[in-house]
Chains A and B, each alone.
Chain A
Amino acid sequence: MTAPVRSAASLRPEQVELACRFGSLSLPHPIMTASGCFAYGDKFAPFFDLRRIAGLSTKGISPRPRPGNPLPRICETAAGMLNSIGLENVGAQAFLSEKLPWLAELGISVWVNFFGEDMDSYVECARMLDAGHDRGIDVLEMNISCPNIKKGGIEFGTVPAVAHELTKRCVQATRIPIVVKLSPNAADLPAMAQAVAEAGAVGVSLINTITGMAIDVRTRQPRLATTYGGLSGPAIKPIALRMIHQVHRAMPQLPICGMGGITTGEDALEFLMAGASCVQVGTANFAQPAIGPSIRDELRDLMAELGIARPADVIGCIRPVPPEPAWASEAPEPGSAS
């Protein structure tokens, strides 16, 4: 066992400064909520004051409203769930007129997740949402990774050259900074991150859900009407951490917003240490609508205990496990070992 790192003596919780940065964006703390798990924010107002989270990412917005997929759309799996909602949303116009004004008044960071059905409609959506520049939208989070869209969408999320082209065209279509939400279904995440960063994305979000399936052995049918869906929840957290670590190691200057199964402050700290600048909480909002503020408090208390004064002090800080002594057939003589 390696001795725990104590960068300093333990702090009192109020000595921890949770404020952090995602590129040029300032956040009061690193805990946001994730797209698809927080609707447009308003449904959570009965449960807590939304100003207690640093920001939110909206349900994915397309140029026009979409009705969503047939049933069943969700099913639970071990420590997680599969969904195939089908990117149901109110459309860009209705979002701008009906949802954004309320969100903008909150004063928290508003990230609008968006997508299209082909390259032109991605660009169209970015152009439409540009009307939210200076009206409360901080970031357009471009979803190139949802498994629940049929028409050729898979290439946007898995082929670096295609993602590069798509990002470049969307960046040109709007004044709002674009963060690209990457697909864990891509073979080479660092290559994808590099492709979108070179096209003008200010950062990346990872990971989206992982394509999976579940089967009802009694009916011999898949548990989702679309057969495959996106796996989320604590089950995917180790995969998310590995991917964030890989991307951060390859591009240490690229801001990463991390997500994938976060349910506690300790989970959030793992994501920061893997290389994320901030995190989004997703599936956990369903069971506990006010979990965002709880995770923030847990993170602050844990950072205090570990003597971490600021999130920036630990982003991507993990150290390799030290090597063990070389094997030999004879144990060293007593007194000679280090």
Chain B
Amino acid sequence: MVTPSPSQFRARVVDTRALVGGYFVLSMEGPAQPAPLAAVIPGQFVMLRGEWGRDPINPRAFSVLDSDGDGRFSVMLKAYGRGTARLCAMRSGEPVTVTGPLGQGTFVSPSAHGPTQLLVAGGVGLPPLHLQARRAAAAGLASRVELLYGGRDRDDLVLLTDFEGWGVRMHLATEDGSLGDRGFVTVPLQRRLQAAADAGEALQILACGPTPMLRAVRAMGLRHHVPTFLCLEEEMACGFGVCLGCAVPVYGDKPYEYCCTEGPVFEARRVRWS
């Protein structure tokens, strides 16, 4: 797939919206004409860094949550470490250095007669699947995608009203049972896979979330012979194929591919996980 060359540009924070569960949506505005992220594909990401001197030294990678043609775009994040804590604390007007769009491996679009796409999300893995659902709805294909979303408790599941508004079917799960099934997202996924198997329905799984979740989803997809695509996150310093930090173990001609350039979306079967 041919994607636009990445560029580095300056943007300004235009809104920091706190969601429940410690999640934030950081909205930024960059150059408008052309808007570097106008044609961003679900799964593509940006590297973000505020103007905070030499520490932390590296930018942080975020899947694009949304992007319009006028230079406005957003990401969703949670304060996990020093970099994300600083980004969560940013105020409107503050400058951000952005590199993107990054990533060549992206989610495939749903089609009217293709398989139903199960969008399996957990934690900060929601954004690429949120964008996938938004695009599907805009193309009149909301019925071709379904969200399967798991979290610790009901506050760990965010932006649900967006999916409701788009008319996307949702299967929720929480570990404490406060919303949807009690347990991991694999509970509704198992049920959904079984129903499809019984009905002879064709499915695809697109997943993004914590690595333990992705490992479980991969195993289930393989077991049920459902084409499964994982949007991975690895430690990366640059995001454009130079630091070689974000290697992903794969089967094939070479033992590793790179999350930033060949991913972040990988076919689950090819990922070399135990």
Contacts and interface: CB of A to CB of B under 8 A. Distances in A.
A75 B235 contact: yes
Contact of A286 (B5, B237, B254): B237
Interface stretch (A106-114, A172-180, A287-295): A287-295
Contacts of A70: 249
Contact of B99 (A263, A283, A289): A289
A285 interface: yes
B20 to A, nearest CB: 25
A1 interface: no
Contact of B249 (A44, A46, A71, A81): A71
B238 interface: yes
B57 A67 contact: no
B59 interface: yes
B57 A233 contact: yes
B252 to A, nearest CB: 12
B56 A76 contact: yes
Contacts of B59: 286-287
A77 to B, nearest CB: 9
A283 B240 contact: no
Given A71-B249, A73-B244, A285-B238, A47 B55 contact: no
Interface residues of B, number: 32
B147 to A, nearest CB: 29
B95 interface: no
Interface SS of chain B: helix, strand, loop or mixed? Answer: loop
B254 A79 contact: no
Contacts of B49: 287
Interface residues of A, number: 34
B242 interface: yes
A85 B55 contact: no
Nearest to A234: B54
Nearest to A75: B235
Interface stretch (A22-30, A35-43, A312-320): A35-43
B235 A72 contact: yes
Contacts of B234: 71-72
A220 to B, nearest CB: 18
Interface string A265-293: 00000000000000000011111111000
A274 B254 CA distance: 43
Nearest to A290: B8
B243 A286 contact: yes
Contacts of A76: 56-58, 82-83, 235, 237
Given A67-B254, A67-B256, A71-B234, A283 B244 contact: no
Contact of B237 (A38, A44, A71, A283): A283
B188 to A, nearest CB: 29
Interface SS of chain A: helix, strand, loop or mixed? Answer: loop
A62 to B, nearest CB: 14
Contact of A283 (B8, B57, B97, B255): B57
Contacts of B237: 74, 76, 81, 83, 283, 286-287
A238 interface: no
Given A75-B235, A289-B99, A85 B57 contact: no
Nearest to B239: A286
* B56, B57, B234, B249 interface centre (most CB from chain A within 10 Å): B57
Contacts of A39: 241-242
Interface in A68-115: 68, 70-76, 78-81, 83, 85, 88
30 contacts: A37-B243, A39-B241, A39-B242, A43-B241, A43-B242, A47-B6, A67-B254, A71-B234, A73-B245, A74-B235, A74-B245, A75-B235, A76-B56, A76-B82, A76-B83, A78-B55, A79-B57, A83-B243, A85-B245, A88-B244, A234-B55, A283-B237, A286-B58, A286-B238, A286-B242, A287-B47, A287-B49, A287-B59, A289-B8, A290-B8
Interface of A: 37-39, 43-44, 46-47, 67-68, 70-76, 78-81, 83, 85, 88, 233-234, 263, 283-290
Enumerate the 9 nearest inter-chain pairs by beta-carbon distance, A residue then B residue, closest first.
A74-B245, A286-B238, A46-B5, A286-B237, A79-B55, A234-B54, A39-B242, A85-B244, A233-B57
